[in-house]
Amino acid sequence: MNTTTFDLPRRHALQRRDVFDWLFAALVVLGGGYAFSRYHASMDVYEQGILLCAMPALVALGWFWKPLRLLSLAAGAATLLAIALYARHTDGFGADLAAGEQTFWLKYMLSSQSAILWMSLLFYMSMLFYWGGFLTGAGRDSVAEVIGSKLAWGGVFMALVGTLVRWYESHQIGPDIGHIPVSNLYEVFVLFCWMTTLFYLYYEQRFATRSLGGFVMLVVSGAVSFLLWYTVAREAQEIQPLVPALQSWWMKIHVPANFVGYGSFALAAMVALAYLLKTAPARSLWIGLVAMPVGIVALILAVRFGGSLDAATVTGMDGWARKIGGIAVFLALAIVLRPRLTARLPDLPQLDDLMYKAIALGFAFFTIATILGAFWAAEAWGGYWSWDPKETWALIVWLNYAAWLHMRLMKGLRGVVSAWWALVGLLVTTFAFLGVNMFLSGLHSYGTL
């Protein structure tokens, strides 16, 4: 076969690019070149390689999904504005962050903490508008749901600005403190919120329906609530130096890859919840969505009054018992209002397909993250695997979704069983993400509660 035949798809793809595609590509390359010229002295060879690979990756993503172009350019421009405002106030090392907070736009909009608070507000408002439109709208795209979608985009924008500006702020505190903001629970919860929302917004456009927005934004709003509580209880917004094990370029690729998986799994679970409300027998919903959480609360209270834990742990578990009880009450209301909640949901095959695509994407990236984590562990601790609690539960998460995909692809698993499995999978993932930090200790105990 003539070798030119292999070039035809690539040439055809390039010929389909319009002037805006090439303009976006040029702006990305210019931005990457500016970042390299300005900050290359602070980068090692691995970080320079990551920057080099990130540019074509961002161009490809912008060509694949055009809304990303405006989002990335706007976030970049806002970040550069924040940097310029900070640069007006300097101290002996770099930008004087305390003095910079006296600037109106930094104090109320563009500093990392302000931007993340705006993210929180916008995500809450997005959830309310999604649900308002879903419950009152007769059409496929009510005005309230459209507003909810725009607010979700705004929340993602502010989250990206907050993350990028926090990255810059960390480098202005002192030598060897600057790092990509994915090193503790506060930072990764911001990552989880915007990444989960962005995945949903893609599927919203792909499947041409906004009726799932309220379901997905529930889990995002739950994460925002935890983030705000964690900020108040632990002052987690303060930038801290990295512990030695985290001072590695592996963190820059391992953690984001992990959260592509977490975000996709959360999206799949919320779609599974919608699927179950639409089709599962009422009795199984009461057992699975209400009785089991109440049972967990009862178990926690039994441990509480058994006096087998220290006072600090007991107090923390009491708080989580109340949260689980609140979730059970919410799910009970969802079952009672089931006809209203399911009237405008997409057809079951569409929900099933979305659930499968989300889990497949999440599994692929979670696998990559696990492999990267093994390489990182070998560099930091001298071994690829140590059966640390976090590693063990990561393996459990991986096996859970591997089995789900195997049963679907090899055995044709569909319907209610696969939806229950996906929903339970989120609980397993949540324990691997948070529960290990709460109840277990080990080499990965960087974000304790």
For 138, the domain range is 66-206+213-242
Helix (H) or strand (E) holding 107: none
Q: Per the domain annotation, does 199 fall within a domain? A: yes
pLDDT of 366: 95
Question: Looking at the structure, do residues 323 and 282 belong to the same domain, yes or no?
Answer: yes
pLDDT tens track for 146-159? 999 999 999 999 99
Q: Per the domain annotation, does 418 fall within a domain? A: yes
Q: Is the pLDDT of residue 142 over 60?
A: yes
Q: What percent of the chain has pLDDT over 90?
A: 45
Question: Looking at the structure, do residues 291 and 403 belong to the same domain, yes or no?
Answer: yes
pLDDT tens track for 221-240? 989 998 998 888 778 888 88
Q: Per the domain annotation, does 8 fall within a domain? A: no
Q: Per the domain annotation, does 108 fall within a domain? A: yes
Question: Looking at the structure, do residues 232 and 279 belong to the same domain, yes or no?
Answer: no
More confident position, 160 or 253 = 160
Question: Looking at the structure, do residues 366 and 385 belong to the same domain, yes or no?
Answer: yes
Cα Rg of the chain, angstroms:
23
Question: Looking at the structure, do residues 227 and 250 belong to the same domain, yes or no?
Answer: no
Question: Looking at the structure, do residues 415 and 352 belong to the same domain, yes or no?
Answer: yes
Q: How far apart are CA 182 and CA 75, in angstroms?
A: 18
How does residue 11 score in pLDDT terms, banded at 50, 70 and 90? Answer: low
Question: Looking at the structure, do residues 283 and 425 belong to the same domain, yes or no?
Answer: yes
Q: How far apart are CA 238 and CA 159, in angstroms?
A: 16
Q: Per the domain annotation, does 446 fall within a domain? A: yes
pLDDT tens track for 390-409? 889 999 999 999 999 999 99
Question: Looking at the structure, do residues 374 and 429 belong to the same domain, yes or no?
Answer: yes
Q: Is the pLDDT of residue 384 over 60?
A: yes
Q: Per the domain annotation, does 7 fall within a domain? A: no
Q: Per the domain annotation, does 163 fall within a domain? A: yes
Question: Looking at the structure, do residues 336 and 357 belong to the same domain, yes or no?
Answer: yes
User: Last residue of some domain: 191, 226, 242?
Assistant: 242
Question: Looking at the structure, do residues 50 and 84 belong to the same domain, yes or no?
Answer: no
What are φ and ψ of residue 102, in 5° steps? -80, -10
* Total of domains in the chain: 3
Q: Per the domain annotation, does 4 fall within a domain? A: no
Contact 159, 131 (CB under 8 A): no
Question: Looking at the structure, do residues 226 and 297 belong to the same domain, yes or no?
Answer: no
Question: Looking at the structure, do residues 78 and 60 belong to the same domain, yes or no?
Answer: no
Taking CA atoms, 271 is separated from 101, 213, 330, 342, 422, in Å, by 41, 10, 17, 12, 9
pLDDT of 1: 45
Residue type, 157: F
